[in-house]
Amino acid sequence: MSRFLDLTLGGVTYGAIYAAVALALVLIWRATRILNFAQGAMAMFSTYIASSLVERHVSYWVALVVALASGALIGAVVERVVVRPVERRPPLNAVIVTLGLLVAIEALAGIIWGGSLRSFPSYFSQVGLVVGRTRLAFSHFDVYVVCAVIVVLLGFVILFRFTDVGLRMRASAFSPEVSRLLGVRVGRTLTLGWALASMVGALAGVLAAPKLFLGPNFMDAVFIYGFTAAVIGGLESPLGAVIGGIVTGLSLSYVGGYLGSSLDALGALVIVMIVLMVRPRGIFTPIAERRV
Amino acid sequence: MAQLEVDGLSVDYGAVTALDDVSLVAATGEITTVLGANGAGKTTLLRAISGLVRARVGSVRLDGHELSRLPVEEVVRRGVAHVPEGRGVIEELTVDDNLRLGALWRRRGERPPVSEIFELFPLLAERHRRLAATLSGGERQALAIGRALMARPQVLLLDEPSLGLAPLVTAQLMSRLAALSTSQGLTVLLVEQNVRTALSIASRAVVLNLGHVVVDDRADIVAADADLRRHFLGF
Amino acid sequence: MSVAWIWRLRLPNQPMLRHLTLAISGGALLFVLTTVLSSFNDYQVAQIGVYAVALAGLTLLTGANGQISLGNGAFMAVGAYGAGLLLAHTDVPIAVALLLAVAVGAVAGVVIGIPASRLRGPYLAGMTLALAVGLPSMVTKFSSVFGGDQGLSIAPPTPPNGVDPERWLAWIVLLCVVIVLVLLGNLMRSRFGRAFRAVRDDEVAASLVGISVARTQVLAFAVSAGCAGLAGGLFGLTIGGANPDAFNVQLSISLLAGVVLGGTGSLFGVWWGAVLLVYVPQWATSVAGTLNLQTGQSSNLALLFYGVVLVVVMLAAPGGLQGGIRRLTTLFVDKVRAGIQPSLPSTEGEHT
């Protein structure tokens, strides 16, 4: 029983991280109909920037803010320079472009910072909390992780539902031409969308690094699982992304715990296949018929 | 003053010339209607004015200010509102959100005229929290026009507002349009297939044929000219 | 002596002959290279051939049929391990092992292709990405069969007397490339090829004319995976073994890069892509050497180059290098022709 509890708690924490990645992917997908394969790599780069600061004895919180800011900057630059030209072209172009970015950014990080893994501070204790007489597989850090992601989700809900910026972003995503006719600067709005998404991605990187150790490829698996989460939830829905994240985290935790850890990636594959067989566009995506 | 001048406008779609040396003036506070058969270039004209399409040569001026090289968002911010063919109602947003969207760029300054819009189109007021996808054709048209008016434009470009609407609804819409134009000094450029109704509310009529202007005269004169009507307008 | 007749050379019009001609001329060129160059370069030729086979399959899947697959590296692994296990436990000739590699790859292609046929765009890309990441881990899990992280070792084919083993291998690979290119070329011209392209361009229209979209997608997957399986088998022979690290995500991404750089949908561009995939790492290694970077940084440099090239090519030339070069060549040849023989009538003949 306690094993089950530990696996569940572990699954929730990792699930929150996957949910953050999924949120970033959903945000970009809704804005530009592009799946950003480079999201994990961009997050990794921001995390490395924070790590460099921490090495120079900068406080964790300042480094975190810098990571988020650099994430936003990277996202904005990538959209404006690299993605904008392919937004109107067939989807294969955007896939290749983001894949190219993924490879290039990881290689660049390897060149700048070297390939060996390094540790990243967690600020909060990673020792399990004690409840009664049992030590749970849930630490102060894990609480922080889950809370951070919840805050981000709430932030997005508020942003989209109640602010002008959010309305512009939704309108630009649904009908860019009509939005332009209403005076919305769609280009800038899309750039903002990418910046916000990459900021969330950077947060995921900073949250994952203390657990996984920082290396140029450390976000590869996280990206896959975040993508799994987004796909399960359907790329259209932020709430779906979070639910998908928790489901993915829990499933992988149970698979790894009961069937052996080397099977996680395979487990993710199977989950993705099963969900997509039943709902080829994710669980929360409404099915739209094409009218002939 | 909100006079819209189009001067020598030519637009190509690849090898096809959609508009050829088109010039017209939409006078302040008047309704100018643009008529012609399908494919005559009417929609292209409006799209070229608002900037969705780039003209090869020619200019578009609002009170003397050149609009033709500006991006769409900037043209709109100069006071030109374009209600496109098919209305362009954003279905995934509510009526309220659609309306709000219309006035967003005017954040500073006056409050957006939501209540006026609701007075003008009471059906919208009743359905204001509903998703735009649930609206009927006539309601969507009202929403599209209301949304365009939220920004208090000086010029309103309308592309076939009567399309798909029942005659009674069309009549109501047109009379409201006429009232609006008079009361607010709104300059309207109205592209229409429903020639009779358009001519009844317009002051001026421009007829396009295969991308050229073939008639440009007072609306009542055009309406009375039976030969012209038969030749270019089909009745 | 007039050389005007050169300008009148055209490829034969009949498709089968044309493909044969093209494939053989490509292969012959490389054959000549192998006889002239040292045995180190035979190895490179073999590598080029391996990539060419894999790229041919992926070109069909992604270029002709429009399905984005990030998992063909995994299919290569399937072929490599299949052939490797057969060769390790039995005494069959290489050809049989390679046929098995094709078969195993094709079966895997069907298995993955069936669920994949319902997916589009990013969902398909993501699923195949999960395959690329997940399949190699199966190898580590069942390490008693698959040899775990060390992998299997595969003995290279024994050459006939007097022939250098690496050269022999290069010829075997080249022969496979020629066969694959001819077969795929014909497939692309057949009604199956038309079905592939029809589904890529407009599924609804294709189904309205009676094409079964799902079956077409699965067939494309199976063919592409079969090619990848063959490439994997050849790869195993070339490097002397099969291990999970050789078939990582980077490989799958490189394959897609090769297809794009070669010119999506063009079988002829497959040679270009394959050459780039072999020579870029080498170029990067030498650059890393001149810059005195640590070992391991050369692979990073190669990857950085790949990534940047992918992005730049997609931004500047969406038709891929093959398309761009084709245009340039046509321009150049037309100018030269006009310069040398202004009285020659201009013809509509096509360069492929």
pLDDT in tens, C225-273: 999 999 999 999 998 888 888 888 888 888 988 887 776 667 778 888 8
Question: What is the DSSP annotation of A8-32?
Answer: HHHHHHHHHHHHHHHHHHHHHHHHH
**For C302, which residue in chain A has the nearest alpha carbon?**
A107
d(CA C31, CA C54) in angstroms, rounded, equals 19
Interchain contact, A107 vs C122, CB within 8 Å: no
| Chain B residues with beta carbon closer than 8 angstroms to that of A286 | none
Q: What is the pLDDT of residues A28-44, one digit of tens each?
A: 988 888 889 999 999 99
Query: Across residues A144-155, what is the average pLDDT?
Result: 93
- Touching chains, B (3+ CB pairs < 8 A): A
Phi, psi for residue B212 in degrees, rounded to 5: -110, 155
| Chain C residues with beta carbon closer than 8 angstroms to that of A266 | 134-135, 137-138, 141
Residue C339 has pLDDT above 80, yes or no: no
Interchain contact, C310 vs A99, CB within 8 Å: yes
d(CA A269, CA C116) in angstroms, rounded, equals 12
**Domain segments of chain A: what residues?**
23-219
* B132 DSSP assignment: G
Query: Across residues A127-133, what is the average pLDDT?
Result: 79
| ipTM score for this prediction | 0.87
> Which among C122, C301, C318 has CB closest to A235?
C122
| Chain C residues with beta carbon closer than 8 angstroms to that of A99 | 70, 253, 256-257, 310
Domains of chain B: 4-90+154-233 (3.40.50.300)
d(CA C7, CA C13) in angstroms, rounded, equals 16
d(CA A156, CA A162) in angstroms, rounded, equals 10
pLDDT at C337: 63
> Which among A171, A183, A186 has CB closest to B90?
A171
Low-confidence ranges of chain B (pLDDT < 50): none
Q: How close, in Å, is residue A179 to chain B by CA atoms?
A: 8
pLDDT at B167: 85
Q: Is the alpha carbon torsion for A274, A278, A283, A286 positive or negative?
A: positive
Is B in contact with A (3 or more beta carbon pairs below 8 Å)? yes
Q: What is the pLDDT of residues C90-101, one digit of tens each?
A: 888 888 999 999
Note the pTM of the prediction, 2 decimals: 0.82
Question: What is the DSSP annotation of C158-173?
Answer: PPPTTS-HHHHHHHHH
Helices (H), B30-112: 42-50, 72-77, 95-103
| Contact of C99 with C179, CB cutoff 8 Å | no
Residue-averaged pLDDT of chain A: 88
Element (DSSP H or E) covering residue C321: helix C320-340
Residue C335 has pLDDT above 50, yes or no: yes
User: Which residues contact residue A226 at a Cβ distance below 8 angstroms, ignoring those fewer than 6 apart?
Assistant: A17, A18, A19, A20, A21, A22, A24, A25, A39, A40, A204, A245
| Contact of C339 with A145, CB cutoff 8 Å | no
d(CA A28, CA A30) in angstroms, rounded, equals 5
